[in-house]
Amino acid sequence: MNADEIRGLLKAKPFKPFTVHRPDARAVRVDDPKYAMVTQGGRFLFFCEEGDSFTRIDLTTVTHLEKEAA
């Protein structure tokens, strides 16, 4: 998975939600770019969830991105 591709999706105007799929069949839907970030080195995506919890996704394990249709 290319970190720059995810950064581009997070910065898109207008923003369109997308889903990050992982090999264990779990998925994370990013509905708002202010709750997600790619680390400076480009290896991880951090996604804030309800409360104070977050998910760290190793981008080398992402199987695909599902972009919301226009």
Kindly report, residue by residue over 18-65, the tens digit of the pLDDT: 999 999 988 999 999 999 999 999 999 999 988 889 999 999 999 999
In terms of residue numbers, what domain contains 30? 3-67
The rounded distance, in Å, linking the Cα atoms of 46 and 44 is: 6
Q: Specify the CATH number for the domain of residue 54.
A: 2.30.30.100
Report which secondary-structure segment, H or E, holds 48.
strand 44-48
pTM over 0.85: yes
Q: How confident is the model at residue 68 (pLDDT cuts 50, 70, 90)?
A: confident
- How many domains are there within the chain? 1
β-pairing verdict for 27-30 and 18-21: antiparallel
